[in-house]
Amino acid sequence: MCSICGEINFRTPPDITYDRQMSETMTHRGPDQHGQRIAGAASLWHNRLAVIDPANGVQPMRAVWKGRCYSIVYNGEIYNTDQLKPRLQSEGATFVTECDTEVVLWAYILHGADCPTMLNGIFAFAVWDGERLFLARDRFGVKPLFYTEVGGGLLFASEIKALLKHPAVSPTVDAMGLWQLLYLSPVTVPGSGIFRDIHEVKPAHAGHYSREGLTLTPYWRLKAERCTDTAYEASARVRELLTDAVTRQLSSDVPLCTFLSGGLDSSVVTALAADKVDKLATYSFEYEGNKTHFHRTSFQPQGDDMFAIKAARYLGTDHTVLTVPTDAVADCLTDAVRARDFPGQADIDSSLLWFCRQVKQRHTVALCGECADEIFGGYPWFYRPEMLYRDFFPWIHDPTVRVGLFRPEWARPEEGYSALSDLYRDTLAECPTLDGEPDEDHTARVATWLSVNYFMASLLERKDRMSMAGSVEVRVPYADHRILEYVFNVPWRIKFAGGVEKALLRGAAEGLLPDSILWRKKSPYPKTHNPAYEQKIRQMLAVRLKAEDSVLAPLLSAGALDSLLQGDDGTWFGQLMSRPQLLAWLLQFDRWVREYNVTFSV
């Protein structure tokens, strides 16, 4: 993977000094090679993590067609290059590398704005043709792309921190940005960059920036269609699609591994990969002290470690268990904020960052099991309509917990709740549905739509930022758009057969894994259960609240934090975030405001 950034300015020449600084903030995403191209109104910059054809893939990459020079900066992996290259060659393309970058460039040269529809993969890229810039992002937003319009020009970058390096961009958060932080984060609203006037190119969107301005439109939409396949046919189709997705994503010229938790999703990916790779390397993640302090819950009835080892032995992989020290989970909180550019998922982020740094010592590319729950229906709101058809996002168990810690005259909680509730209802109404379909199918379809556009987008953002902060490329086979297009329309009675979540995926994986893993109840990404972690976070927070430069102290509502510290340790967000994570999030918030010089305009 890589980082991209640049400036287009038709009024005055781009300021190369600031453009270089933008690029330098993202060298973690591409430590292997660095390049830039200054051409008229355009300044394009690239940092490369070399994965395919390391010797010949330096960017920006150029090609000439009919007297016009085209330049691309690209971040991603395209998994259907073998199919695209012959077609593009027959249309006039000439290739001098084995890089997918060159395939994307020629796809744009020959097909223009339609080129993203041709691509199977994860990508964010920009192409300059001397007169206008083309921007595009993959269908699910696996790869990031942000932009802002300032000084009569356009700035774009893989991460927000790069844009904030430019002196014309202010680190200001308005009311909607604040409400996202206090109510939704780590989830954000599609298209939002949290900071005022910073936006993201939405997933499945592309368009041009020219003298007339920026125009972005969707090039792909999820469609509701009738599916008459039997359960057997549906399982066979999913097996076929997933096998093809994993096989395509094994292409790499550098060491490759998989993340293997011992849960269904990662075990299926690993089983399919192990069938293609001799002595596949796998990693599982654990926390110091969890064997002693693990607490069983309905969300997490079992620990992962024994299942990961069992799956590795069954599949014959070269397995490594990475155990993160408790102090490291806390110490990486600041780096996790820097990676994400806002306070996100606290130690759920920081632990993944630590793990990826360890993986990087041996491997550069990893396949993971992310996105299966959102696509196949692994969450309770898929089959519990009372969770879905309320006024707020179903994974937020109590919307008042976090915002209630802050002074109401500053946070304006009632106004924020109303605005985000309206957004939630609008999102539900946008879901493509079929007239006359059973209520259970309608509910599952809406749950998928909501999960993919918000919850899954947040998990993909986390995976990208934490892995790239460790200079590791993580691929997501379940996020192959062909899988979602098919599964979205499979009847719920097949996806939830026997009252078992993700029954369709389990059926598709028959014969790949032992039954103890194939039919294991869903287990989320692990978290620390060690009480020493919360004790350390409490101590760190106490220090920050007493510090002269504390951001939190003047913003917190009197007595609210004491009530939290003395109350029950209830889960308040998703399946993992309880009191230790909320306290850690407050630490991240304080650090973020101070380090990013954030101002609030609410």
- Per-residue pLDDT tens digits for 124-146: 999 999 999 999 999 999 999 99
> Interior CA angle at 555 toward 550 and 558, to 5°?
110
User: What pairing do the DSSP bridges indicate for beta strands 61-65 and 68-78?
Assistant: antiparallel
Residues with catalytic roles: 2
Instruction: Give residue 50's pLDDT band: very low, low, confident or very high (50, 70, 90).
Output: confident
Domain with CATH 3.60.20.10 in the chain: 2-218
Domain with CATH 3.40.50.620 in the chain: 231-389+424-518
Instruction: Give residue 477's pLDDT band: very low, low, confident or very high (50, 70, 90).
Output: very high
3-class SS of residue 515:
helix
Instruction: Give residue 302's pLDDT band: very low, low, confident or very high (50, 70, 90).
Output: low
pLDDT at residue 498, rounded to an integer: 95
Contacts of 554 (CB under 8 A, 6+ apart): none
The tens digit of pLDDT for each residue in 533-544 reads 999 999 999 999
The tens digit of pLDDT for each residue in 228-263 reads 999 999 999 999 999 999 999 999 989 999 999 999
CATH code at 231-389+424-518: 3.40.50.620
pLDDT at residue 573, rounded to an integer: 80
Tell me the torsion sign for CA atoms 396, 397, 400, 401: negative
The tens digit of pLDDT for each residue in 409-468 reads 999 999 999 999 999 999 999 999 999 999 999 999 999 999 999 999 999 999 999 999
Contacts of 456 (CB under 8 A, 6+ apart): 140, 370, 371, 374, 375
CA-CA distance, 491 to 600, in Å (whole number)?
A: 46
Amino acid at 217: T
Contacts of 162 (CB under 8 A, 6+ apart): 3, 5, 22, 23, 25, 26
Instruction: Give residue 526's pLDDT band: very low, low, confident or very high (50, 70, 90).
Output: confident
Model confidence at 297: pLDDT above 80: no
- With helix as H, strand as E and coil as C, how does 124-154 read? EEEEECCCCEEEEECCCCCCCCEEEEECCEE
More confident residue, 54 or 374: 374
Instruction: Report H helices in 430-502.
Output: 439-450, 456-469, 481-487, 492-495
User: The domain 2-218 is classified under which CATH number: 3.60.20.10, 3.40.430.10, 3.90.180.10, 3.30.70.100?
Assistant: 3.60.20.10
Separation in Å, CA 556 to CA 75, 363, 529, 560: 40, 43, 27, 7
Q: Which residues of 266-278 are buried (b: 16+ CB within 10 A; e: fewer)?
A: bbbbbbbbbeebe
C-alpha R_g of the chain: 23
Beta strands in 471-549 (DSSP E): 473-475
pLDDT at residue 578, rounded to an integer: 87
CA-CA distance, 518 to 41, in Å (whole number)?
A: 55
Instruction: Give residue 571's pLDDT band: very low, low, confident or very high (50, 70, 90).
Output: confident
